[in-house]
Amino acid sequence: MPIPFTVLMLVLALIFWHRSRLAKCFVVVATTWLLLLSSQFGSYYLVNQLEQQYPVNNSVMPEGCVIAVLGNSHNTTHSDVALQQLSATALSRLIEGLRQASISQHCQFIFSGWNGGVGGPSHAEIQAQAAIALGVNKSNMTLFPQARDTIEEAQYIKQQIGSSPFKLVTSATHMPRAMATFEAMGLSPLAAPTDFISSDDSWWHISIANLSASQRAIHEYLGLLWLRIKHSLSNS
């Protein structure tokens, strides 16, 4: 991750301060890394490679469609209103799920996500409460509150619908890894990406938002790499 890696380089520079050439190398690497990932150029390059793999989904599914909205996070500290508790990413996913339902008919929702092990309602339950507040009928929902990650979400959904086609809603950066995970398990997801964060702005623009986007992209690239390693190990 960008900030921990930068801190590590600076700590190494302090440790090897008596060896000025090596210390300078660590400082240069830390500074270059932080500037690159905070720049519009670096962030856009990393994120856009992920987000352009699957376009916005406007396809109409037949009656009885299934829409799986993958979990993200929520915070119950400041409000007891579910819509206010969802993170910006989770809210974006929920809204896209509702949009997908609006262009098809009689859709069933699947909400997933645990409570992070800190007690309280699961993320799936908060998603469901928010959806009800936006007019979704509770009988049209299936919840998987035990799912802790994308792999477990895929496992639960496979138990529910098998290989039947369904709309898969998640962030555009996460979609390549999610699709790879679901397809590897024999499911038939139709990508419905949302929460696009890449921006083709001035290449020299440096900001925290760019750094955050770069971090999200790096997380996904590492996840894809780990999937390939697991696949290779399982086939060896």
Kindly state whether residues 111 and 27 are assigned to the same domain.
no
Kindly state whether residues 76 and 129 are assigned to the same domain.
yes
Range of the domain at 6: 2-51+209-235
Kindly state whether residues 147 and 188 are assigned to the same domain.
yes
Q: How many domains does the chain have?
A: 2
CB-based contact 154:187 (threshold 8 Å): yes
| 118: in domain | yes
Kindly state whether residues 188 and 213 are assigned to the same domain.
no
CATH number assigned to the domain comprising residue 161: 3.40.50.620
Kindly state whether residues 79 and 146 are assigned to the same domain.
yes
- For residue 46, the model assigns a pLDDT of 95
- For residue 195, the model assigns a pLDDT of 96
Amino acid code (one letter) for 205: H
| 122: in domain | yes
Kindly state whether residues 41 and 106 are assigned to the same domain.
no
Of 68, 98, 105, 66, the C-alpha closest to 83 is 98
Kindly state whether residues 123 and 161 are assigned to the same domain.
yes
CA angle 149, 44, 31 (to 5 degrees): 95
Kindly state whether residues 98 and 14 are assigned to the same domain.
no
Structure tokens at 56: 């916005």
| 79: in domain | yes
**pLDDT (tens place) for every residue of the chain, 236 residues total:** 888 999 999 999 999 988 889 999 999 999 999 999 999 999 999 999 999 999 999 999 887 799 999 999 999 988 999 999 999 999 999 999 999 999 988 899 999 999 987 888 999 999 999 999 999 999 999 999 999 999 999 999 999 999 999 999 999 999 999 999 999 999 999 999 999 999 887 877 899 999 999 999 999 999 999 999 988 887 76
DSSP 44-101: HHHHHHHHTTSPPP-PPPPSS-EEEE----B--SS-S-HHHHB-HHHHHHHHHHHHHH
| 60: in domain | no
Kindly state whether residues 88 and 138 are assigned to the same domain.
yes
d(CA 146, CA 169): 18
Kindly state whether residues 179 and 231 are assigned to the same domain.
no
Give the predicted TM-score (pTM) of the model: 0.90
| 81: in domain | yes
d(CA 94, CA 171): 11
- For residue 204, the model assigns a pLDDT of 78
| 85: in domain | yes
Kindly state whether residues 136 and 215 are assigned to the same domain.
no
Kindly state whether residues 166 and 140 are assigned to the same domain.
yes
| 201: in domain | no
| 127: in domain | yes
